[in-house]
Amino acid sequence: VIFLGAGHSIKENKEKINSFLKKKKYITISLNINKHIDKRYIDKYIASYPSRILLEINDYKKVKSDIILPNVILNNVAKNQLKNNKLLDYGLKIKKGEFYVEKKYCTLPTPLAIGYGLAIAVIGNARKIFLAGFDGYQLNDERQKEMNDLLKLYQKNRNFPKIVSISHTSYQVSTEQII
């Protein structure tokens, strides 16, 4: 499985990434809306942050692929606006310092879409997880710490699939220069 993030490397390498995805060896999942990658190559979308979904609601209405999200985060207005989309529910509980994956829900330290996506990849029996567009932040940025803390919790479980970034990243994951 390949997760598409929103980092600058997606825009900078969009031709290479589109070419790589065109081969269709992997399931491609966009975390939130991605405006740089050809929609034909995106198999699913993942959303887990209520405010982000509302900000991108008009883009989600145009999506033809499945949207995986915890239904409980949608208010009635959002549900009504997405009534023509195929929504797949996977539950989400938030508990600081925890990363657990169950068949119908996950428990994560934050509602970051990457954590939610990693949990879905685990229940979907992914063998390896590739990241593209997860550039990271400055080392003193709290978002950098939040992401690395999440990745450490994930990586504690040796049975979970290995994470490999195929684009530049400052996160604590392996990298392979595929693109």
Summarised one tens digit per residue, pLDDT across range 16-30 is 898 888 886 889 999
Residues across the chain = 179
Q: pTM score > 0.85 for this model?
A: yes
Q: How far apart are CA 152 and CA 77, in angstroms?
A: 36
- Please choose, from the candidates 167, 120, 172, 117, the residue with its C-alpha nearest in 3D space to the C-alpha of residue 146: 172
Q: How far apart are CA 152 and CA 172, in angstroms?
A: 8
Q: How far apart are CA 44 and CA 36, in angstroms?
A: 15
Amino acid at position 173, single letter: V
Q: Pairing state of beta strands 100-101 and 91-94?
A: unpaired
With a cut of 90, say whether residue 77 has pLDDT above it.
no
Question: CA–CA distance from 128 to each of 2, 24, 72, 95 (Å)?
Answer: 9, 15, 29, 26
With a cut of 80, say whether residue 177 has pLDDT above it.
no
